[in-house]
Structure 1
Amino acid sequence: MATCCKRLIVSFLVCCGVLPLASFAAPEELTFVGSKFYPPLQWLDANNEPQGFIVELEQALANEGDYPITQTLLPWNEALQAVRTGQADAVALIPSEARSEYFDFSEPFYYVAHGIFSHSNGIQYGNYAQLEGKNVAVASGAFAQQQLSDSGYNFELISASDELHCLQLVDNRTADACIEVTTTSRHLITNNKLQVALSSPPFWPQSYAFGVRKGNKELLALINKQLAMIQVNGTYQNVYQKWVAQLEWQERTFTSNLKALGWLVFGIVSMAAAGFGWSYVLKKQVALKTYRIQQELDARKVLQKRLHFLAKHEVITGLYNRPAFTELLDKQIKAHPEDHPTVIVIRIANIDSITSLFGYDITTDLLIEFSERLKKQGFKYAAHFGVGLFAAVADAELTTEAIIDLAMQPLEFQSIDFEPLLAFGLIRHKDFGTIQSNDAQELLRQALTAVSVSQKDHKLWVEYSPGLEPNADDLRLLKDFHQYGTRDFFLHYQPKLRLETNTILGAEALVRWQHPTLGVVPPSKFIPLMEESGLVTQITRWVITETIAMMKRHKLCQKGIVISVNVSTRDLTELGFVQFVQNIVNDIDPKCLQFEITETGLIDDSERALYVLSKMNELGISCSVDDFGTGNSSLSYLSKFPVAEIKLDRSYVFDIAENDRNYMIVRSTIELAHMLGISVTAEGVEDIATINVLREFNCETIQGFVISRPISEDEIVGMFLREIKI
């Protein structure tokens, strides 16, 4: 009977659009991870067994879905990393903009606040301003770490290994304060007898949700389904009621103990007077019990009402969330197919910059203010999908210009002189065929496609057309790379000839992709795609690793051979790149490794580029500017960055024997480089006449088809130190 009722509930939720139509395949097993120092939400007991509210909630999800789970509690940063690397499936955490780069989030299931914790016998810090110039501890990987990094306040952050360590740093006075979740910290302070106390009002009220690895939509849908089911059938409420006393617990103070003693004295006096007023006392006790029961019922109704609201609304703005918005749009299309609604998606393109400049609190206020604008401007209904992405529905009669005018009304916002940079994507239902059962989802997807193109092309608005759809092969390449990584990649090497000796003293490592079904995919096809998707750093690390392994196999460093590797500007801005290079060159002479950086990209973050290139120079790794002459700041780079070599772009080199203009450009560039103590490599050399001109200019090295096309490892090793008759 229970199984039948459960199936009826699921069917009802699917029909209402609360759950998607797609079937959910029960997994063989799910691995949940979390923090080992986070009572009462989750912690390890004396037997190293997971305990806590979230632990039991995860077990309830597994029981509802009838699949086994593994629960592992670790230091917090390790738990996050386990999900990011695929070693675990899900983790309970606070959703944030920074974490959305690596995680997708379920619907919220609990709410927490943060606070400032100070030493009990020291200064009690009550707000950010009082922490200026102080040492503030924060757990590594915690929500608070990113918030404090973006706050703009001048205090020194100390990274703690976990939540308990954060509080211990205050207890031993290594840190002036720790910023952590109030509920868990109170338990940790009492359990570990720390001289630490909450010294500020609670702030940053945030939801708790389950996070899965970015792109794992099937697992996310499964968790959302089970969350909905345990809320509907009362399981969530049972788990919450079991833990509510600990979730709302606070350590007893001297005042509370005094009150307790007073009640004890009162009880003794009452017992002494029982013979005189038994009937009256009994009546009062019944009334008090009745009042408390009524309070509990009222609190449960408030919580259920709040959970029902959050099931359909986004917590910050109060607008509809994505499932509720899609459900409303689907109902509108089915009820009034002749209305032809227009779906608009709006993205605040510069929301990251606003957060960095003004802080998270200002960004939150901006999102709320912009939401109020959408409510007041006559749209039928609107939604916030998170991270500054909004959607709205307008009547088909409104022109595109009128829609944008409505959403672009000036903000009167805290007297701060800025306007958000908006990008619009629109789709008009009447323009694309008959109504289908999945029109709401498809219309929203098309509008999202349009807004992505709008932001990418720096346009105010783009209206959807089929020509905006991404290339199917590109999507396939991205999918396969996510699934298989660099499994099907290999390296070719293009030799570099030293003109002075006519010998091959180096080569450039070039990555190739032997796709199982598409064949050899040229780098010009997949490298820009990986750069745009932020995946190129994985490829760069693989190329560096494979190149160094090849150099070790053939002992190239002992022979004075230099192998160059292409490094993108995204690699230079990756925080762990310097440490990665320092670790991997331990077993070789760094002087036999060279990095080629595309000159057009350095301007994106010149300060970071200067730092990284300086570190490489200190290691002994020389840096070359690739495609020199094709960017806008060539001369400034020569003076600003520690460059050992420039590579003249083939567009200037290939015809210098016939083109007087390119002849003069190449000659003057080589002369300038030599005056600055920089060597020159010419790319794209394809004939003897070009070689003769480059000899005349005293160019050190050439590279091109006149010597060799890119070749395999065995072939290039056979060419090293050989004299080439040219």
Structure 2
Amino acid sequence: MKDELPSGIKSSLHSHELVDLLDAAGELVVFADRDWVIWACSEAYLQHTGLTRQQVIGHTPFSYLPTFDRSVFYEPIERCRTSRRATATLGYSTLTGRCMLMRVYPVNDGMLLLANDASESVIRQYQLAQVALEDSLTRLPNKLALGQEVDEWVRQGREFTFTTIRAGNLRSISDLHGAALCDLATIELASRLQLATVPGEQVYQITYDEFVHLCPGIESPDRTAAVLAAAKQPLVLKGTLFDMGIAAGIAKGPEHGENADELHMRASMAVSEAERMKTAAPVVYVPSLEATLRSKTQLEGEVKEALANGGFTLFLQPKASLAGMHVTGAEALIRWHHRDKGWVGPADFLGVLEGCGLMRELDNWVIGAALQQIRVLSTQGLNLPVSINLSVHSLTDTGIVSRIREGLRAHDVAPCLLDIEIHEGGVMRDVETSIRVLHGLHELGVGLSIDDFGTGYSSFAYLTRFPIQTLKIDRSFVLDMAESKASGRVVAGMVKLAHSIGLKVVAEGAESSAQIAMLRRFHCDEIQGYGYARPMPLEAFAGFALANATPRGPSAFTV
């Protein structure tokens, strides 16, 4: 609203006709100083309160309205008193039982309050104005409101903390459980953030998954920590526990920016750094983050280009039988040949694709590329199963079954030659949907393996519900076996339990003769690791597999 007074009142602030003017206006009009002491009011205000002029003039409203500080009108008056900006509010008057519109203007060293009964048209205009400043879902003040508040704080010369809070898992909740449940999660998160604030602070929603906590002062870590603690508490919605994936970045106003856009840009850089570091603590913006962001933006563009233009390839890492040390299959591992960096592993670009929402597209490419390689190997007489890794987005998408069926038919590949490795943490995010997808794949005849077993939070009770044939022991356990008796006992126990429910066992990360010997002693079925063979291009794998196609016995192979 405008910070200017109606011209008639403005021109008469110091005239002796002020009281007559106020009475003629027919509105509730009050002049008060900065200490809330009333020095002039209209007859309508006296009728509204049921008091005499002597009971009002020279007194504060707290003296004759004991609950005034809890009324809907208190906050906008206090905001005008402290910020010296015009405010307005629409509220229900308990004295009259009517809806009233109140405007408050700063004048000289005090305030002018105007109030009247709100007509339907006035109520509608006010509501429209409020809607423009609110998020339609959570009713938190929005980006426009944030911009106005930051402008005012900067104008007043105030220092403040601008914290951007990003709920990184909201997109996944929408993908896996639908928009309705995502909306419920957003509303609950917004409520928690708002309840965690104290007077003088405010939470704003600026995008569907980003909020801003505005807090007076630049040395307020306790207040920031309190709000973040509320955000990080898991949500339980419809019987399901959700982690919001909270990351936070801090910019200091006005040091890091003199408007909301500049501060949000720099706080967002800090959020991105917090996500990259996988830290629960907020990251404070420093200028060097801008170079990091430029590098990240460049990498995103290069990765998108690689996905769109065939820049990725699949290397194959052989698997070997521990009984005969011959090749029994392979795992397809994605690689990217960067024009400057050479061969780049997935650790350097999968997170970028995840952040860009491109994991499903990558999964589809991997399926097609792997089937093509299986077909090439088959023409050379190598009917070896090749395993691929799919993201949680595909494993909770029932459409993946039909896409793989169509791919098998298009490449003329037998289903038993394709194996899908499932990370246990992924299927645990939506167990019931994952089970339906896995059973659909099993009915196709596709092989299924649990990858990196022991690093997540599944159990053998869940494994009996999944139609899998193979369990892969994570390399971290295998690498520690020779030095740690405890790790050795864990691996031996995993093998025994897996065999007891009819699963084949593959140990990843076998790099030494000692490790291979121990795994053989534990009756592990197969190994995969640098101790046998590194990942290699298709042509090299074909040659290696042909040379190691027949069992040779344990003693025929040394590392």
Q: TM-score, normalised by structure 2?
A: 0.60
Look up the match of 1:213.
none
The separation in 2 between residues aligned to 1:340 and 1:706, in whole angstroms, is 59
Look up the match of 2:474.
649
SS of the residue 1:554 aligns to: helix
Look up the match of 2:353.
530
Deviations 1:141-171 (A, max 9, x none): xxxxxxxxxxxxxxxxxxxxxxxxxxxxxxx
Look up the match of 2:161.
342
Would the aligned equivalents of 1:650 and 1:683 in 2 still touch at CA under 8 Å?
yes
**Displacement of 1:564 after TM fit?**
1.1
Using the TM superposition, name which of 627-636 and 585-594 deviates more.
Answer: 627-636
The separation in 1 between residues aligned to 2:468 and 2:141, in whole angstroms, is 53
The separation in 2 between residues aligned to 1:374 and 1:655, in whole angstroms, is 45
Look up the match of 1:563.
386
Look up the match of 2:377.
554
Would the aligned equivalents of 1:492 and 1:510 in 2 still touch at CA under 8 Å?
yes
1:442 aligns with 2:262: yes
Counterpart mapping for 1:140-539 below 5 A: 314-315=135-136, 321-323=142-144, 325-326=146-147, 329-330=150-151, 332-333=153-154, 335-336=155-156, 338-345=157-164, 377-379=199-201, 383-387=204-208, 389-391=210-212, 393-396=214-217, 399-401=220-222, 425=248, 427=250, 429=252, 432=255, 439-448=259-268, 462=282, 464-466=284-286, 469=289, 471-472=292-293, 473-485=295-307, 487-531=310-354, 534-539=357-362
The residue type paired with residue 675 of structure 1 is: S
The separation in 2 between residues aligned to 1:374 and 1:568, in whole angstroms, is 35
Residues 483, 598 of structure 1: alpha-carbon distance in 2 compared, 3 angstrom cutoff: same
Would the aligned equivalents of 1:317 and 1:367 in 2 still touch at CA under 8 Å?
no
Look up the match of 2:117.
none
Using the TM superposition, name which of 528-537 and 697-706 deviates more.
Answer: 528-537
1:709 aligns with 2:530: no
Look up the match of 2:22.
none
**Displacement of 1:448 after TM fit?**
4.2
Would the aligned equivalents of 1:505 and 1:721 in 2 still touch at CA under 8 Å?
no
Look up the match of 1:240.
none
The residue type paired with residue 282 of structure 2 is: V
The separation in 1 between residues aligned to 2:197 and 2:491, in whole angstroms, is 61
SS of the residue 2:540 aligns to: helix
Residues 652, 304 of structure 1: alpha-carbon distance in 2 compared, 3 angstrom cutoff: closer
**Displacement of 1:497 after TM fit?**
1.9
Residues 633, 558 of structure 1: alpha-carbon distance in 2 compared, 3 angstrom cutoff: same
The separation in 2 between residues aligned to 1:328 and 1:576, in whole angstroms, is 47
1:671 aligns with 2:496: yes
SS of the residue 2:316 aligns to: strand
**Displacement of 1:456 after TM fit?**
9.9
Would the aligned equivalents of 2:165 and 2:211 in 1 still touch at CA under 8 Å?
yes
Residues 574, 466 of structure 1: alpha-carbon distance in 2 compared, 3 angstrom cutoff: farther
The residue type paired with residue 162 of structure 2 is: V
The residue type paired with residue 463 of structure 2 is: L
Deviations 1:161-203 (A, max 9, x none): xxxxxxxxxxxxxxxxxxxxxxxxxxxxxxxxxxxxxxxxxxx
The separation in 2 between residues aligned to 1:368 and 1:666, in whole angstroms, is 45
Using the TM superposition, name which of 689-698 and 612-621 deviates more.
Answer: 689-698
Deviations 1:370-406 (A, max 9, x none): 8997999444x77432436444644338845457879
Residues 358, 688 of structure 1: alpha-carbon distance in 2 compared, 3 angstrom cutoff: closer
Residues 638, 344 of structure 1: alpha-carbon distance in 2 compared, 3 angstrom cutoff: closer
**Displacement of 1:643 after TM fit?**
1.8
Structure ID, larger Rg: 2
Using the TM superposition, name which of 504-513 and 468-477 deviates more.
Answer: 468-477
Deviations 1:82-114 (A, max 9, x none): xxxxxxxxxxxxxxxxxxxxxxxxxxxxxxxxx
The residue type paired with residue 501 of structure 2 is: L
Residue in structure 1 matching 2:445, options 583, 600, 620: 620
Would the aligned equivalents of 1:557 and 1:592 in 2 still touch at CA under 8 Å?
no
Look up the match of 2:407.
584
The residue type paired with residue 615 of structure 1 is: G
Would the aligned equivalents of 1:597 and 1:626 in 2 still touch at CA under 8 Å?
yes
- Listed as ranges, the gaps of 5+ residues in structure 1 are 1-298, 410-415
The separation in 1 between residues aligned to 2:336 and 2:451, in whole angstroms, is 22
Residues 465, 689 of structure 1: alpha-carbon distance in 2 compared, 3 angstrom cutoff: same
Would the aligned equivalents of 2:138 and 2:187 in 1 still touch at CA under 8 Å?
no
Residues 616, 445 of structure 1: alpha-carbon distance in 2 compared, 3 angstrom cutoff: same
The residue type paired with residue 477 of structure 1 is: L
Residues 388, 584 of structure 1: alpha-carbon distance in 2 compared, 3 angstrom cutoff: closer
Look up the match of 2:234.
none
Residue in structure 2 matching 1:593, options 407, 410, 418: 418
Look up the match of 1:607.
432
The separation in 2 between residues aligned to 1:462 and 1:468, in whole angstroms, is 16
Look up the match of 1:178.
none
- Listed as ranges, the gaps of 5+ residues in structure 2 are 1-119, 231-236
SS of the residue 2:439 aligns to: helix
Would the aligned equivalents of 1:537 and 1:570 in 2 still touch at CA under 8 Å?
yes
Deviations 1:489-539 (A, max 9, x none): 111111122334443231111110112233322222223443455433322
Look up the match of 1:83.
none
The residue type paired with residue 424 of structure 2 is: E
Using the TM superposition, name which of 482-491 and 423-432 deviates more.
Answer: 423-432
**Displacement of 1:431 after TM fit?**
8.2
Look up the match of 1:635.
460
The separation in 2 between residues aligned to 1:589 and 1:621, in whole angstroms, is 9
Residue in structure 2 matching 1:687, options 478, 496, 512: 512
Residues 540, 303 of structure 1: alpha-carbon distance in 2 compared, 3 angstrom cutoff: same
Residues 667, 465 of structure 1: alpha-carbon distance in 2 compared, 3 angstrom cutoff: same
Would the aligned equivalents of 2:137 and 2:187 in 1 still touch at CA under 8 Å?
no
Would the aligned equivalents of 1:345 and 1:447 in 2 still touch at CA under 8 Å?
yes
Would the aligned equivalents of 1:373 and 1:407 in 2 still touch at CA under 8 Å?
no
Would the aligned equivalents of 2:196 and 2:226 in 1 still touch at CA under 8 Å?
no
The separation in 2 between residues aligned to 1:651 and 1:317, in whole angstroms, is 44
Residues 314, 507 of structure 1: alpha-carbon distance in 2 compared, 3 angstrom cutoff: closer
Would the aligned equivalents of 2:316 and 2:332 in 1 still touch at CA under 8 Å?
yes
**How many pairs were matched up?**
415
Would the aligned equivalents of 2:303 and 2:353 in 1 still touch at CA under 8 Å?
no
